[in-house]
Structure 1
Amino acid sequence: MKPIAFAVLLVLTSPAAAQDIIGQASVIDGDTIEIHGQRIRLWGIDAPESAQLCRGADSLLFRCGSAAANGLADYIGGRAVTCSPRATDRYRRVVAVCSVSDVDLARWLVGGGLALDWPKYSRGTYAADQVKAAGKGAGMFAGSYIEPWAYRACIRSGGRPQACSDGD
């Protein structure tokens, strides 16, 4: 009986079955926040890394990762954030759908051109928002960019931030 009780305990305490996390959030980067000391990765999207560069409509490089983080922080302001856990990632962060006043933060980021739908995880949940943002030339879509997952792979293989970004 103990193995059965242990298995039930694991299911009941898994992140997917966890209660919502609610509170004032600190923005760590464009797709990660912290509430009550708990790091939370926004589900289904990928935002540029802090050091990542993109090209604007004027072809000049800008820190699109910083723009995503700053935009998210400004949007949240001092309002309460509600996160519904879905999983735990390899860095032991909760992966969750988070909202402010019933606005999905991931949808807001993608719709503003500050993050990308990550179909590997989202199954296209935010794809239509990305298409609309691209059509309006919002955020990253005003110029050019490298997908954050490709940027990280370049950095892991020894590349430097500017060389791995949409730079020369």
Structure 2
Amino acid sequence: MFGWRRRSEGFEWKDYVRTTVLVRRADRQRRIEDVRVAAIEKVKNVADAGVDAGRAGASAAKTGLLHILALIGRAIADASIAIFWGFVRWVAFAWNIIKDGAEAVAAPLRSAIRVPADAARDKLKMMPDVARKFPIKAHHLISAALVVGLIYVGGPMLRSADGISAPVLDISTGAPDASHQVTISNEISGSAAALTGDTMRVDGALVRLAGIEAPESTQPCYRTNGRRWNCASTARSGLNTIVRGQKVTCTPSGQDDSGRTLAHCLIGGGKDIATELVQAGYVFATDTSFFSSLGGEESTARDAKRGIWQGEVVRPQDWRAQAWESAKRDAPDGCPIKGVVRSSAKIYALPWSDVYAKARVRQERGERWFCSEDDAKAAGFAPWDKS
């Protein structure tokens, strides 16, 4: 009787216990990480007042520089007008010489020699007076050289002064940049809460910040000493710190591949949230070209080794490509997307999602592998919420 043992009837207790232990261990580690991040946030909040004061000083310095540039621009305009009228005077002077010569040719032969000579003599006497009245002076040339120097030196300062940039103003005077074309006119405004480093809920609407991309939830980042850290969780906390207690105003510009609203969002004082995140090294800029303002902010953060740039890191797109190829090698027929059934709901997980490792494909329950998201959607599977 004591040797009798109840059959599992197809249920694997060992696998269940092992999976439960691993899940609880992962949850415990996540809670520990969240507590650590919360403590760091409290410390950062103490320094917020000092940072705001520094930014106010930088803003005042930029205002002064803009005023100086405006005055110099006015001097350039005056010099340009003076150059134009000086050119007109020289043209009139040359025309008078030509006209006097033509009139002399038409005169009688007797005066044909004397009149042109007298006219030319008179014009030559006028040359010192013309040169004296010419409006372009030495101080005009000095002002022009000063303007060129200030544009060369002050341009980068306006874009980024000690890591603090001026508020981004979306003013279109001609053909706007494609990345800033607005296709949805209604603004979204209200309080916000971060879901990831680049996604948040604003007044109940799901919004993804345009122009940036946060690290994936399972993507590793490394510090200068080679130690791994959770940069995705830090990016989410950084976004929460920026929008906490602020009124957020977003201007939609389209939708991403997952149907989320893409938007440019500002907080009080006209500060661009995406710019703040890139400056702090929380996220990546999607456009790193020379003419991109976010690309310039990313270069500054990288040089200062802030956030994700303090150690080894790859861009999310490249990391997803690596995760995809790695999962293909282990997946049946090289199809790495897992389509599973949870509570009668058909959902699929991508190789870089945080639930991918725990998801098990059981074909007897109608679960299967897919080679692309289109195949999964065609079979009635929806994206996993955490993917």
TM-score by length of 2: 0.36
Equivalent residue letter for 2:203? H
Measured in 2, the distance between the counterparts of 1:84 and 1:100 equals: 12
| Unmatched 5+ stretches in structure 1 | 1-14, 162-168
Give the secondary-structure state (helix, strand or coil) at the position aligned to 2:318. Answer: helix
CA root-mean-square deviation: 2.1
Which position in structure 1 is the counterpart of 2:311? 143
Equivalent residue letter for 2:264? V
1:108 pairs with 276, 280, 286, which one?
276
- Kindly indicate whether the alpha-carbon contact (under 8 Å) linking 1:118 and 1:124 is maintained by their aligned counterparts in 2: no
Q: Which has the larger radius of gyration?
A: 2
Measured in 1, the distance between the counterparts of 2:324 and 2:190 equals: 34
- Kindly indicate whether the alpha-carbon contact (under 8 Å) linking 1:46 and 1:149 is maintained by their aligned counterparts in 2: no
Judging by fraction of residues, say which structure has more strand.
1
Change (3 A) 1:24 1:138: same
Measured in 1, the distance between the counterparts of 2:288 and 2:259 equals: 19
Measured in 2, the distance between the counterparts of 1:48 and 1:116 equals: 8
Equivalent residue letter for 2:207? I
Pick 1 or 2: higher relative contact order, CA cutoff 8 A, min separation 6: 1
Which position in structure 2 is the counterpart of 1:10? none
CA-to-aligned-CA distance 1:11-35 (integer Å, 9 cap, x gap): xxxx723211001111110011112
Equivalent residue letter for 1:154? Q
2:199 pairs with 25, 28, 32, which one?
32
Give the secondary-structure state (helix, strand or coil) at the position aligned to 2:257. Answer: coil
Measured in 1, the distance between the counterparts of 2:197 and 2:255 equals: 18
Spell out the pairing of 1:41-80 with structure 2 (5 A cutoff).
41-80=208-247
Judging by fraction of residues, say which structure has more helix.
2
Decide which moves more: 65-74 or 152-161.
152-161
2:302 pairs with 127, 130, 134, which one?
134
Measured in 1, the distance between the counterparts of 2:201 and 2:310 equals: 29
Measured in 1, the distance between the counterparts of 2:305 and 2:262 equals: 28
Shift of 1:37: 2.6
Which position in structure 2 is the counterpart of 1:155? 323
- Kindly indicate whether the alpha-carbon contact (under 8 Å) linking 1:44 and 1:125 is maintained by their aligned counterparts in 2: no
| Unmatched 5+ stretches in structure 2 | 1-181, 328-350, 354-387
Query: Alignment length, in residue pairs?
Result: 146
Percent pairwise identity: 29
TM-score by length of 1: 0.79
Change (3 A) 1:155 1:18: farther
Measured in 1, the distance between the counterparts of 2:192 and 2:315 equals: 26
- Kindly indicate whether the alpha-carbon contact (under 8 Å) linking 2:254 and 2:262 is maintained by their aligned counterparts in 1: yes
Shift of 1:125: 3.5
Equivalent residue letter for 2:241? D
